[in-house]
Amino acid sequence: MQALAKSTPESNMKKYGSSLAKFQSLIALVILCLTISLLSDKFFTVDNAWNVMRQISVNICIATGMTLVVLTAGIDLSVGSVLALAGAITAGLLRNGIEIPAGNLYIGFTLLGAVVAGLLTGALLGAFNGWTITRFKVPPFVATLAVLTIARGFTMLWTKGFPISSLGENFAFLGTGWFLGIPLPVWISGIIVIAAVVVTNKTRFGRYVYAIGGNENAAKLSGININRIKIAVYTIAGGLAAIGGIIVTSRLDSAQPNAGITYELDAIAAVVIGGTSLSGGRGSIMGTVLGAIIIGVLNNGLVLLNVSPFWQQVVKGFVILLAVMIDKANSKND
C-alpha cells in the first residue's frame, strides 16, 4: 500500500501476509490430506494418489482454459456441452465414419483423424463464443450459456440420444493407459498445465490476457487487439474442453450424450478456489491446479469415508464458498 515503501515493518507484514495468502490453498490442501489420512488408511497410498490424479485430469484440462477466460474477466459456461459434443464426434467418426447417402460415399476415420476432428469441434465452438462476445458484444455469460444449449442439442442430434460405445483398444488407451509409470490422462493434463504456465507467465499473449482483465480500456489504448486475444482465449478454452471430452470418452469406452453436465461448475470452482478473481486480471494457472486437486481430494476423501453423495455435494458447496470468502477478505486488505 505504500508508494515509497522502503522496508518498513508494515510493508514487510504486508509482503509476508500476501505470500501467506498465496500459499493458503496449499496449506488447506495439506490439512485436508492429513485429516483424511487420519480417518482412512486407504487414502495415503500410491494407488489412490494416481486414482485421484486421473479423476481430476479432465477437470484440470477444462479449468486451465477456464482460467484464461476468467483472467480476461469472462466466463465460459459451454465447456461441459462442448466436452460432450467433441467426445461424441470423435467416437462417432471413429466407429461409424461419415456416410453420405446421396453420393453413396463413405468416409472412414483413423484414430488420429477422429481425435483431430473432435478437437476442431471444440476449438470451433470456442471461437464461436469469442466471435459473438467480441463482434456483437454479447455478455460472455449469455453467449456461452447459449452455446451450452446449442452444443448439447447437437450432441443429442449426433448421437440420437444413445451412447456410442466399443471404440477399440487403441482409443481406450488414451484414457486408461500408462506411460513411464504415470497414467496417460495425467500426462496430457500435466503437459497442458506446463504449457499454460509458460504461456501466461512468459509470453506476450499471456501478458495481454492479464492486461485485458485488469483494465480493458487501458489495454485497448495501448494498441492491444482485444478482440483477437479474447477470441483466442475462448478458442483455447473450447479446445481444452474437447481434450477433456476425448479423455472421458476414451476412459468409458463410450461417448455419453449426457457427458459433462455441470463440469463447467467444477471448472469454475477450481478457478475460484485457486484464487483467480472473477472480475479478471488476477490469478494463476497453478492456483487453479491446486483448486482442482483440492476438489478432487475432497471428493475422493468423502467417498473413502463413506459419506453419502448427497452430503458430498453440500460439503463441496461450502468449500467453494469458504475459499472465495477467504479470498475476498484478503483482497480487502490490499
Partner 1 sequence: MLAVENITKKFPGVVALNNVCMQLHAGKVNAILGENGAGKSTLMKILSGVYCEYEGRILYKNKHVSFTCIKDAQECGIAIIHQELNLIPYLTITENIFLGREIINTWGFLDKKAMRQKVQSLLRKLKLDVEPDALVADLKVGQQQVVEIAKALLTESEVIIMDEPTSAISEHEVEVLFAIINDLKKENKTIVYISHKLDELFKIADTFIVLRDGCAVESGEMAGVNNDTLIQKMVGREIKVMRKQAAQYAHREELLRVENIGLKHRGKSGENILTNISFTLGKGEIVGIFGLMGAGRTELVETLFGLHPKRFEGEIFVEGNKVKFKSPADAIDAGLALVPEDRKKDGLVPGLDVKKNISLTTLKDLQVGGLLNENKEAELAEKYIGELKIKTSSHGQMAKNLSGGNQQKIVLAKWLAKGPKVLMLDEPTRGIDINAKNEIYKLILQLADAGLGIIMVSSELPEILAVSDRILVMAEGSITAEIPVSEATENTILKAAIPKTI
Residues that bind partner 1 (CB under 8 A): 1-6, 11, 198, 202-204, 207-208, 210-211, 214-215, 217-225, 281-282
CA dist 306 and 85 (Å) reads 33
Q: Count H helices and E strands in the chain, helices first.
A: 13, 6
Q: How far is the CB of 65 from partner 1 (least distance, A)?
A: 21
Q: How far is the CB of 72 from partner 1 (least distance, A)?
A: 12
C-beta of residue 183 within 8 angstroms of C-beta of residue 54: yes
Question: Would you say 109 or 208 has its CB closer to partner 1?
Answer: 208
Q: How far is the CB of 227 from partner 1 (least distance, A)?
A: 9
- Residues near 103 by beta carbon (within 8 Å), at least 6 away in sequence: none
Separation of first and last alpha carbons in the chain: 7
Q: How far is the CB of 332 from partner 1 (least distance, A)?
A: 14
SS3 state of residue 164: strand
Question: Would you say 95 or 220 has its CB closer to partner 1?
Answer: 220
CA dist 254 and 135 (Å) reads 37
C-beta of residue 236 within 8 angstroms of C-beta of residue 68: yes
Question: Would you say 152 or 282 has its CB closer to partner 1?
Answer: 282
Question: Would you say 149 or 225 has its CB closer to partner 1?
Answer: 225
Q: Which burial class, exposed, middle or buried, applies to 123 when counting CB atoms under 10 A from its CB (0-12, 13-18, 19+)?
A: buried
Question: Would you say 42 or 207 has its CB closer to partner 1?
Answer: 207
Q: How far is the CB of 220 from partner 1 (least distance, A)?
A: 6
CA dist 16 and 314 (Å) reads 34
Question: Would you say 217 or 308 has its CB closer to partner 1?
Answer: 217
Q: How far is the CB of 2 from partner 1 (least distance, A)?
A: 6
Radius of gyration of the chain (CA): 21
DSSP characters over 319-332: HHHHHHHHHHHHHH
Question: Would you say 182 or 195 has its CB closer to partner 1?
Answer: 195
C-beta of residue 237 within 8 angstroms of C-beta of residue 209: no
Question: Would you say 95 or 207 has its CB closer to partner 1?
Answer: 207
CA dist 207 and 211 (Å) reads 6
Apex CA 80: angle with CA 87 and CA 298, to 5°? 110
Please state, as a whole number, how many other Cβ atoms lie within 10 Å of the Cβ of residue 47: 8
Q: How far is the CB of 219 from partner 1 (least distance, A)?
A: 7
Q: How far is the CB of 290 from partner 1 (least distance, A)?
A: 20
